[in-house]
Structure 1
Amino acid sequence: MANQLIIQNKLITPLQQYLEKIDLRSAFLRFDIDFKKLYQQYPQHFTELAEEMEIEWTHFLEGNLKFSFDLLHLQPSDYHLFFEPEYHFNRYRLKTLRNSFYKDITLFDLQKWRTFCRSKEKEAFKGGLTNETWTYPLAENLLGKADDPGYFGGNGSSGWKLHAIANFCLDFYCGHYKLKLSRLTPYDSFMYQSKIELLANSLKLRKHEKPIQQMISRKIGYEIPEDENKDEIM
């Protein structure tokens, strides 16, 4: 069985440390998604996606492909966090987000994700041109040989395509099994002292702990313990 592990943004580590300070205990749980099983449950949506991306599923189905995600489970809530790396926001992800599946279920701010896929692709180049992301053997076996890094004139990036398909499958999986998933992006923002701050920049600098704790707590409906909330920054 072919296996593709989709990793989180490295900034999930300082974020995890921030959240533990407000009694949100966390642990990574692995979810394995059987592509063939999911395909058989929702063939119409996968047919639609294949047409949109101009690909075929033959090799996916023959290879018994599995996508694996290590999601950060937050307790005592039922939510699982997935902090997306910059290279997830690109033209291929945008194609998946056009699928009619997203008309039936809302897992995140779809319009915001579409906007980031259009406007942040240049940021994706910073970490998405390596052999671990732009192209690698499994991706090329499934989706064909990639172009040179950063070039989209031919087949583009087989690795980026595979990651986009994996994220599409994760959304299906969470929708089907009613799994509470909260996706985060490096471009999520919050207000601090009348200024807009970006989540990724703040975590890189290990800044704005309280506002970030409040932002995540609001997203998952968690009430910060009173002793931790006394210095809350509004």
Structure 2
Amino acid sequence: MVAEMARGQGSISREKRAVFVFGVVFLTAILVLVVAIPYPTPIQLFAFRLTLALSAAGVGALLPGFLNIEVPLPVRGMIRAGGALALFASVWFVNPEDIGVRVKPPEADASLLMKQLLKFTDHQEHEHAYALLASRDRARVAESDYVSMLEQIRDPLGNVERRVLIGADTPDELMGIPGPFVRHMYQVKFSNSPTIWAEVVTAIAESGVWRVGGFNIVPCMPPGCVPALLPTPN
């Protein structure tokens, strides 16, 4: 009986050591990856968080003392955990946005995407323009609604007589949405309108490439626009 108990305790001890070694090895790997990949993709970030949480639980399996926590769940209720599981939960439920995780801006020139969007819009190829939108915007606005909106607002203005870039910036956040963003503002003279119009095109980084995060067209008045930049053609 005593021998069986001793063997059982020895087996548990070996399992704890193995879990501890697992935790140390993967914690070390995570530290190396964080240095090597300072701007992780969403999939990489998910894998980092999962591995880090499991590693913390593995290291915690041999730490003395007992940790008991209650963590609010994102949807409803709470999770109660103790010991190694508490360490896992405390790491897993940390929101990466709260620790300053940022997306690396794509290396491509965002202005190329903006010019492509404006070209499609000028030629009334609104379906092609819609395909350039970020997935978040395509999820919020159906293609038929996007096309209908431009057919009612943009198409009646006619051809572009002159378009001038009058402003550009690179905000890290717009309306509570994390970027990075690139935003260009143009003033435009259309053939069928005596009014000067403003076009604002916004690009957002998505999965390592620039996608259109917004396109607005409104009548433009000074001081936002400078009419002298758009003289009426002779």
TM-score range, shorter chain: under 0.3
- Identify the structure with the greater strand proportion: 2
TM-score between the two structures when normalised by the length of structure 2 = 0.21
Q: Which has the larger radius of gyration?
A: 2
Larger RCO: Structure 1 or Structure 2 (Cα < 8 Å, ≥ 6 residues apart)?
Answer: 1
TM-score between the two structures when normalised by the length of structure 1 = 0.21
